[in-house]
Structure 1
Amino acid sequence: MTRFMLLIQQERTGAVGPEYWGANAMKRLATNGFLLAGLLLALPATAQTLAGRISHYDPAKTRDLKSVHGGAGTMKYMGLMDTKTLSTDFIFLHRGFLNPKGGIGQHFHNQCEEMFVILDGEAEFTINGRTSRLSGPAGAPNRMGSSHAIYNHTDKPVEWMNINVGTSKTYDNFDMGDTREGAALDPIPQFITMKLEKSLLKPAAGQTGVSRRRALGPSVFYTPWSYLDHVLVAPGAATTATTLPDMSEVYYVISGEGSVTVNGETVAIKKGDAVPDGDAPVHATGEIHVVSGDQRGEAGGADQGDQDPEDVRRRVRVEVAGGLVGEQQARAVGDRARDGDALLLAAGEFRRPVS
């Protein structure tokens, strides 16, 4: 099982946007009263160092795209993770920004789930033909069998990210040929949305200096995507250690810098980094926001079936202002992240279903 975690840090060091990513869609599994589904991270076929597995978002290296899915205008795009990143059915994680009057046209996903996220500004989100304006940081999950679109109606670029998880590693879409420019707006969104606001975070039980909030729970998703958590870890605070033998995570750093440790290997990380390992310790020297999600892989699958549970285990440790803050491990119901002026984390996970 692998889980996906996005480490997002804001304000002090900037913002990071969401992009496309995916994982195998599977039926959720209820464990100890929790329904688990999520995004699975697949480890590379060949052994790599932790530094080699971490991808780095660089706005200067983004590509210009036009009329994406028949959408309006242009956007900037960079792929951070793809189907080869994890052994589960995680499809991709993309970053970039929507240019003014640019967007992604309305299209269906019938075998995968996708979520557009904006980290700043405002954009018009469409789900199943209903459109509303959301202010960042926010997002709207497009559940399997639904259609979605996004349009930047403003005169400023909007930081964007997209995550895609599927029922397999095969991405699917059906374009509608609708830019959604000038679409009628609902003042109240008629679809599921999520906000990543620090004001919504609450103290994490038993974790001094850590605030956390589950932005999206497992009941939202049809695929193995388990949840999306938002966590803030204050300087000197730490997350607790938990164990998730069949889950993996992805962390995305929105702002700040520090270090992450996976299976004893420590690497420096900064704003825009995407870490495809849930067992990595994170050291923060500034405020960090993290978003994560989990997914389950098919039991006995070609990618996961022969792996030793220890190889799939994910652990996260956070350090703030040069001091070791703590260690966090993936677990069945999701990782706990730290909150505070130094580190903001969001987490999610996916689990391997029981056959």
Structure 2
Amino acid sequence: MTRSLTAAALALALAGAAPALAQTPAAPSLAERIAHTDPGKYRTSSSVHGGAGSMDFGSLLGTDALDTNFIFLHRGVIHPGGGIGAHFHNDCEEMFVILDGEAQFTIDGRTSVLKGPAGAPTQAGHSHGIYNPTGKPVQWLNINVGMTKVYDAFDLGDPRVGAPLDPIPNFMTLRLDRALLRPVERMKGGQGTVQHRRALGPSVFRTAWSYVDHLLVPPGASVGRDVQTDMSEVYYVMGGEGTVTLNRQTAAIRAGDAVPVRLGEAKAFATTGSAPLEMMVIGVAKDLDAKRAFIQATAPRRR
């Protein structure tokens, strides 16, 4: 009797579990994972972190995009006379990037004008802000990586309007200048010659954020299949059209798209249009130990 009851109970339990198992959602396809810039979905915000004026922006990728401590990638527009007030992040690092025009960037109370495409990384424990004093909207990106997946901020109530300007930035900057790129033949086993530069290296950041690369893939060229088990990446398409192959799936990409690549995923890129496929690459290591190993593996050898 006991065995019969046990068997019956097990059968009922399995029968009850079957619908739940059947309803488990399928993993999103590659096309579904790629984020697309859509200004129609931006939201308007005023006095962001106590800043001046207003800006429109939305989230391209959030905390679930990668399995590392990548927190978000935002895309938006800073209107004339608008900006983001000075504020601290103590457990995460952030970088504002402008894709065109110019803006006043502030790090730790020192302000300089940067002309796009350019940006300024801000290490954890330091303050930053941005202001658009021009009469034209500025296309803007914001990247945030933390010690954990938790975002933090402390506002200073300083909009940075009318701040004194240093002619030379007193802080680290990112330059996405094509003239600084260097040729790489058959990158990762791909076709043709691409242009590449490590714009920011691992020493810039204190979190597991490891690099920002600038990559230009001319028409007819490609970047071959590559796998990094301890490094996740985001590829933001600055211009052009192409394809990304992730594991066994291929999808089209174009300017304004963001492609998340998780740990251990194989990726490859190719240009399909008549213009070069231009991308900014954000690399975030699995953890600080993995970042240290990456630094050792990529450090130039002394002769």
Give the TM-score normalised by structure 2.
0.81
Task: Name the CA shift for 1:247/1:46 in 2 (closer, same or farther; >3 Å).
Answer: farther
What amino acid is aligned across from residue 149 of structure 1 in structure 2?
G
Alignment of 1:296 with 2:296, yes or no, is no
Is the contact between residue 59 and residue 96 of structure 1 (CA under 8 Å) also seen in structure 2?
Answer: yes
Structure 1 partner of 2:21: none
Residues in 2 aligned to 1:264 and 1:206: alpha-carbon distance in whole angstroms: 21
Is the contact between residue 244 and residue 332 of structure 1 (CA under 8 Å) also seen in structure 2?
Answer: no
Residues in 2 aligned to 1:226 and 1:299: alpha-carbon distance in whole angstroms: 9
Shift of 1:60: 2.0
Q: Cα deviations across residues 2-32 of structure 1 (Å, max 9, x unaligned)?
A: xxxxxxxxxxxxxxxxxxxxxxxxxxxxxxx
Gaps of 5+ in 2: 1-24, 296-303
Alignment of 1:261 with 2:267, yes or no, is no
Shift of 1:140: 0.3
Is the contact between residue 266 and residue 280 of structure 1 (CA under 8 Å) also seen in structure 2?
Answer: no
Residues in 2 aligned to 1:64 and 1:243: alpha-carbon distance in whole angstroms: 39
Shift of 1:191: 0.2
Q: How does 1:5-154 map to 2 (within 5 A)?
A: 47-154=27-134
Residues in 2 aligned to 1:117 and 1:280: alpha-carbon distance in whole angstroms: 25
Residues in 2 aligned to 1:204 and 1:294: alpha-carbon distance in whole angstroms: 19
Residues in 2 aligned to 1:93 and 1:242: alpha-carbon distance in whole angstroms: 23
More displaced stretch, 59-68 vs 129-138 = 59-68
Residues in 1 aligned to 2:294 and 2:278: alpha-carbon distance in whole angstroms: 22
Shift of 1:52: 1.2
Point out the structure with max Rg over C-alpha: 2
Q: Secondary structure at the match of 1:52?
A: helix
Larger RCO (alpha carbons 8 Å, 6+ apart): 1
Residues in 2 aligned to 1:206 and 1:48: alpha-carbon distance in whole angstroms: 31
Q: Secondary structure at the match of 2:233?
A: coil
Task: Name the CA shift for 1:100/1:256 in 2 (closer, same or farther; >3 Å).
Answer: same
Shift of 1:240: 4.1
Residues in 1 aligned to 2:287 and 2:216: alpha-carbon distance in whole angstroms: 32
Displaced runs of 4+ in structure 1, greater than 4 A?
205-208
Q: Cα deviations across residues 229-272 of structure 1 (Å, max 9, x unaligned)?
A: 11111122232444312222111112222221111101111111
What amino acid is aligned across from residue 88 of structure 2 in structure 1?
F
Residues in 2 aligned to 1:247 and 1:222: alpha-carbon distance in whole angstroms: 16
Residues in 2 aligned to 1:281 and 1:214: alpha-carbon distance in whole angstroms: 18
Alignment of 1:162 with 2:142, yes or no, is yes
Shift of 1:299: 8.8
Q: Secondary structure at the match of 1:249?
A: strand
Q: Secondary structure at the match of 1:88?
A: coil
Task: Name the CA shift for 1:173/1:264 in 2 (closer, same or farther; >3 Å).
Answer: same
Is the contact between residue 226 and residue 268 of structure 2 (CA under 8 Å) also seen in structure 1?
Answer: no
Q: Which has the higher helix share?
A: 2
Task: Name the CA shift for 1:298/1:199 in 2 (closer, same or farther; >3 Å).
Answer: closer
Is the contact between residue 244 and residue 270 of structure 2 (CA under 8 Å) also seen in structure 1?
Answer: yes
Shift of 1:294: 1.5
Aligned match for 1:283, one of 270, 274, 284: 270
What is the number of equivalent residue pairs in this alignment? 259
Shift of 1:204: 2.0
Residues in 2 aligned to 1:126 and 1:235: alpha-carbon distance in whole angstroms: 38
More displaced stretch, 208-217 vs 182-191 = 208-217
Shift of 1:332: 4.9
Q: Which has the higher strand share?
A: 2
Q: Secondary structure at the match of 2:223?
A: coil
